[in-house]
Amino acid sequence: MRFFYSLVVGVALLLSACVGQKADNNNYKILVKNSGGDSTPALLSALEKAKSYNGKNVEIHFEKSTYLFGGDFAPDVYVFTSNNDEGLKRVIFPLIDFQNITINGNGAKFVFDGRINPFLIRNSKNIKFKNFTCDLVRSGHTEALVLDTFKGGAVLEMKPDFPFEIVQGCLMFMGKKDSITTTQKRDTYYIYRSMLEFNPQRNAIEYNVADVWANEFGAFRADFIGGRKFKLYNTNAKFKKGNVVVFSLGARYHSMFAVDECCDVFFENVTVHDAYGMGIIGQNTRNIVVDNCKFTPAKNRIVSCSADATHFVNCEGKIVLQNSLFENQMDDATNIHGIYERLAKIESANTFISELVHRQQYGFKTFAVGDEIEFVDRHSMITKTTAKIKSVEVINKQFKRIVLTAPIPQGVKKLDAIAKIRNYPEVVIQNNIIRNNRARGMLLNCRGKTLVKNNYFSTSGSALYFEGDASNWFEQGGVRDCTIINNTFENCNYAKGWGNAVIEVAAGITKDRQKSRYNRNIKIENNTFKMFDGTSLLKIFCVDNLVWKNNRVEKTTTFPPKRNLPPFITEHSSNVVLSK
Amino acid sequence: MRFFYSLVVGVALLLSACVGQKADNNNYKILVKNSGGDSTPALLSALEKAKSYNGKNVEIHFEKSTYLFGGDFAPDVYVFTSNNDEGLKRVIFPLIDFQNITINGNGAKFVFDGRINPFLIRNSKNIKFKNFTCDLVRSGHTEALVLDTFKGGAVLEMKPDFPFEIVQGCLMFMGKKDSITTTQKRDTYYIYRSMLEFNPQRNAIEYNVADVWANEFGAFRADFIGGRKFKLYNTNAKFKKGNVVVFSLGARYHSMFAVDECCDVFFENVTVHDAYGMGIIGQNTRNIVVDNCKFTPAKNRIVSCSADATHFVNCEGKIVLQNSLFENQMDDATNIHGIYERLAKIESANTFISELVHRQQYGFKTFAVGDEIEFVDRHSMITKTTAKIKSVEVINKQFKRIVLTAPIPQGVKKLDAIAKIRNYPEVVIQNNIIRNNRARGMLLNCRGKTLVKNNYFSTSGSALYFEGDASNWFEQGGVRDCTIINNTFENCNYAKGWGNAVIEVAAGITKDRQKSRYNRNIKIENNTFKMFDGTSLLKIFCVDNLVWKNNRVEKTTTFPPKRNLPPFITEHSSNVVLSK
């Protein structure tokens, strides 16, 4: 008895739909006309036609207009995407097993209606997205204006396009479509967990605020006043009159683009206004380029994606983020990392059970036959030893049985972390603007050559962050060759939390810090740091070989000072050179 | 481009595990030994071995002891079960594509640890379950004792084995295993929606109480006192000192037994103490027999299943429930019905889009090529006409495209209900005890010959209920030949709600009641009604041909009277004979 993971999916076999098709020197073009209604059937028909060209170059192109995509005629696909929520998802662009396809919007706007998964690109090669804007009819998050305050709370007015209700004193959000009353009514809600205050004058998170958490079920107490006004009761929020309170989406239902086991995926001149999770999640993929793209809120909104703008897990080849704008999203601009599994049980001399621990990593294809893996002490993050995989048996989305080509090395034990030793990708992050978002800028956790050049950062937390742990997020990191050059960091860390330095190491190393050197070979050169207070410029630990030189520090008066920390905090590190 | 629904599943390929195997005249026996730890690997190994016998008679048998089944080594399977929540579920007994298998517990107790789906029987034939008891380590519901009351609430003490915490004033329930903190922590909670008060002296729901609803997020306000004691704030609850407050499970995660597209499934001497949803859900299955079974709480608990004890949807052949005990479950003892889809859109002369409307019916396989279907007015529930299906294309779990063999009949229009005209099963319900549960006794919504004979009912709501609607539950009903004979109904309808008569028609017919005759040919004969008050004996509407004769009514003094209704309420019905 042996079952394998496979798709769960139905799809419309469409007879109507896309229009126009012509061949030019083996390059095919298919036009998706805008019918004015739901364009999903026309799109699916175009995809079907494109597939029939069997891998020849096909451009699916659009009119320069606003296309509405609904989920009624789209297929369901079971999707595991790292750092997002798994599930059976309604996919509008199911780019599964495609090759050599360009989606050219010609300036079109794609608006997705309902809690659906816009793009899934799986097991495909040479896929290009260009010249379009993506948005959602109903954002994942919700925005309200602070009209007035009172002791213990504020009077808020919900902005248009954010449906809400107050039931039994609980503030709740829902979609724009009515849904029938069933025992599952909860599913129609847009769950939230917290609120965060934005300052519309600065189009950014308010100075010195943090997430304000709802109760554990995700509710704030509220009383309806009338129209779109209500009283919100909370004593932790700042509630500055005129500010915008953003209620975060409490789940990561869908990314705008989920890229899974692909090769050569390009984003060019694509604007992402919103997502029920991340903008782009790329996993187990070789070569992804994000060029001249924008992650930015739609007009009249202050937040873009509900989570990270981009995120890359266990990728190889090259990851390029350039000439792009990352702003106002509810989490980091990017995070490039691997995955640690955990040794759950040793079964025999060369066989053990491995476990994906973080729920949002379940179902991830970590290991394959022939892979080299490292065993890592989960406290010190020191690599103990390596081994090679003879066979992998997937037991379920959480556990797998691994047989090694040789006995399990001595010293390896239960709860050790395990990561694949990959052909780590080269990372190029250049000429981008990263600003006004929640949390950090770029999370640099890739062992491939990493270049961060000519970027502008103004982030509410740290601009550059080095993570990696085997106890909480189970994200594998540890740079080996990282250059940070010619960047400007302006007034970073102005919110409360998300780091104490502009550039910070925050790996989860809890033991043997004097020995562990998890991040190595970092060069920070010729950058400008515009500082409003005594936040640290650099805070590191367990680093080997770091050079800081030719960086300028300027003082600003944008905000009142909050901190008075040393400019450099270095602990348990070797070969650190801090020059002018 | 065409995808089909298929399994998403991994499974342990086990080398260790089950022990013993012998052949007797082509009958194979496989013993699953109790290792003391997690018996799932041994069980899966036994199932693998059983499958290798290629459909020969196999008995998988157990020692008379308590087996613990955990989910770590069990496969994940995507499960759509009607009236329960769909999802990727961890299945302990994945009886998929099996034939001629008997699971004989020999008196064993099977205890399932974690939020897992114990039994999935899919696409299998001649499967017998006998001689075992099923229970959960952590019930889906939660029970607390009322120690004392105060103005606005009560002091409760959580019973052992029900983990809870009070976070930010919210009462919350969780499993027994620790789970890592992640952004998905909510998933580890046992969500609830309401509480219901039980009287331990009577081992039944308290007299004249109803569900008391938590706020829409599923929380009651509470303050921790110490130990397992806490204050619960609510002004709607009765809170009688000494009573047990049951917090209902707010989702139907898993049935104990999910039977999907099978033939000949037998339950004999099986006891179900608990379920994260229903005890047995049978769908699209031919012949199910539940004989000499018990749905009853474990010692020290007052509730059994979190939802219906049994439930049968679109089944054929024969459904037999006999010699069994259905008590203290949180919903009906059974509900036997079909499914209405809804006409979403007419696409051409003979093509239309059909929609599964109720979320808990998504993914249900309703229609196939060659099926005869009826179109039904959703308000009057009158069948307009019938047609035959030429082809079915599943678009996604919600929508399908149907092509008829002839043009769509005149008068058929958008939002009409559509049901398959099946070989409706014969239903035999005899010699059972149905008592002390929430809601109703038996929901009789089957057009096949239905016999309810020699049963004892003492239900908190109506004992027998006729439903069916195309606006809320989309459950297809309408009996055609129903005999209710030699039963005893004692003190039914003692709670608040769930019906106003011992036998009641509650179909969703909102128009043309003077014409609609949704339920037909009902004989109620030689039953005993023991009544504590003036609750109606019989309340019907839109019924044709009902005979009431030789029924005895006796008066009891068990409860104070609540109602003073006429014994018979008949509206818009024809050929009704009410004799002594």
The one-letter code for the residue type at A155 is V
Which residue among B75, B184, B353 places its CB closest to the CB of A3? B75
Give the whole-angstrom CA distance, residue B37 versus residue A194: 41
* Cβ count within 10 A of residue B573: 19
Cβ distance of B215 and A170 shorter than 8 Å: yes
For residue A357, what is the nearest residue in chain B, using CA coordinates?
A: B180
Cβ distance of A183 and B217 shorter than 8 Å: no
Give the whole-angstrom CA distance, residue A173 versus residue A191: 7
Give the whole-angstrom CA distance, residue B523 versus residue B464: 13
Does residue B9 belong to the interface with chain A, where contact is any CB pair within 8 Å? yes
Which chain A residues have a beta carbon less than 8 Å from that of B94? 1
Min Cα–Cα distance to chain B from A552, Å: 38
The distance from CA A529 to its chain's CA centroid, rounded to whole angstroms, is 26
Residue B1 pLDDT greater than 60, yes or no: no
Which residue among A13, A51, A217 places its CB closest to the CB of B218? A217
Which residue among B1, B72, B189 places its CB closest to the CB of A51? B1
Mean pLDDT on B372-391: 98
Which chain A residues have a beta carbon less than 8 Å from that of B213? 168
The single-letter DSSP state of residue A86 is -
What is the pLDDT, as a whole number, of residue B22? 56
Cβ distance of A74 and B9 shorter than 8 Å: no
**DSSP string for B473-503:** S-EE---SSEEEES-EEES---SSSS-SEEE
**DSSP string for B350-371:** TEEEEE--SGGGTT-----TT-
**pLDDT tens by residue, A306-332:** 999 999 999 999 999 999 999 999 999
**pLDDT tens by residue, B69-79:** 999 999 999 99
Cβ distance of A4 and B9 shorter than 8 Å: yes
**Beta strand extents in A407-463 (DSSP E only):** 417-420, 426-430, 433-435, 442-444, 450-453, 456-458
| Model confidence band, residue B184 (pLDDT cutoffs 50, 70, 90) | very low
Does residue B5 belong to the interface with chain A, where contact is any CB pair within 8 Å? yes
Is the separation of the CB atoms in B51 and A1 below 8 Å?
Answer: yes
Does residue B41 belong to the interface with chain A, where contact is any CB pair within 8 Å? no
Beta pairing partners, A119: A93, A257
What is the pLDDT, as a whole number, of residue A25? 67
What is the pLDDT, as a whole number, of residue B218? 78
Give the whole-angstrom CA distance, residue B76 versus residue B58: 24
Residue B17 pLDDT greater than 60, yes or no: no
**pLDDT tens by residue, A490-527:** 999 999 999 999 999 999 999 999 999 999 999 999 99
Is the separation of the CB atoms in B90 and B76 below 8 Å?
Answer: yes
Nearest to A1 by CA among B112, B102, B95: B95
Cβ distance of A180 and B472 shorter than 8 Å: yes
Q: What angle do CA A392, A398, A402 make, to 5 degrees?
A: 20
Mean pLDDT on B489-495: 98
Is the separation of the CB atoms in B418 and B343 below 8 Å?
Answer: yes
Which chain B residues have a beta carbon less than 8 Å from that of A399? 72-73
The one-letter code for the residue type at B412 is V
SS3 B186: helix
Q: Cβ contacts of residue A520 below 8 Å, gap of 6+?
A: A478, A479, A480, A543, A544, A545
With b meaning 16 or more CB within 10 Å and e meaning fewer, what string describes A368-389?
eeebebbbbbbbbbbbbeebeb
What is the pLDDT, as a whole number, of residue B365? 97
Give the whole-angstrom CA distance, residue B150 versus residue A549: 69
Which chain B residues have a beta carbon less than 8 Å from that of A366? none
Per the document, the length of chain B is 580
Give the whole-angstrom CA distance, residue B159 versus residue B157: 6
Does residue A169 belong to the interface with chain B, where contact is any CB pair within 8 Å? yes
Give the whole-angstrom CA distance, residue A193 versus residue A208: 20
Interface-testing mutation among A5, A69, A79, A217, with chain B (most B C-beta atoms within 10 A): A217
Min Cα–Cα distance to chain B from A230, Å: 17
Do the bridges between strand A501-505 and strand A536-541 make them parallel or antiparallel, or are there none, so unpaired? parallel
Give the whole-angstrom CA distance, residue B330 versus residue B150: 27
For residue B12, what is the nearest residue in chain A, using CA coordinates?
A: A395
Portion 248-267 of B in contact with A at CB < 8 A: 250, 252
Extract the tokens encoding A431: 């000429």
Give the whole-angstrom CA distance, residue B473 versus residue B561: 32
**pLDDT tens by residue, B209-256:** 999 998 777 789 999 999 999 999 999 999 999 999 999 998 899 999
Report chain B's mean pLDDT, rounded to a whole number.
93
Backbone angles phi, psi at B314, to 5 degrees: 50, 40
Which residue among A8, A13, A180 places its CB closest to the CB of B78? A8
E strand or H helix that includes residue B48? helix B40-52
Is the separation of the CB atoms in A310 and A280 below 8 Å?
Answer: yes
Portion 218-237 of A in contact with B at CB < 8 A: 218-219
The percent of residues in chain A predicted with pLDDT above 90, rounded, is 89
| Model confidence band, residue B21 (pLDDT cutoffs 50, 70, 90) | low
- pTM > 0.90: yes or no: yes
Count CA within 13 A, CB hemisphere, residue A194: 13
The percent of residues in chain B predicted with pLDDT above 90, rounded, is 89
Residue B165 pLDDT greater than 50, yes or no: yes
- Sign, CA dihedral B199-B203-B205-B207, equals negative
Min Cα–Cα distance to chain A from B85, Å: 8
Measuring CA to CA, how many Å separate B31 from each of A142, B106, B107, B131, B270? 57, 11, 14, 14, 18
The percent of residues in chain B predicted with pLDDT above 70, rounded, is 94
Regions of chain A short of the pLDDT cut 50: 1-20, 179-184
Extract the tokens encoding A527: 């950058």
Measuring CA to CA, how many Å separate A469 from each of A342, B376, B380, B419? 11, 59, 62, 54
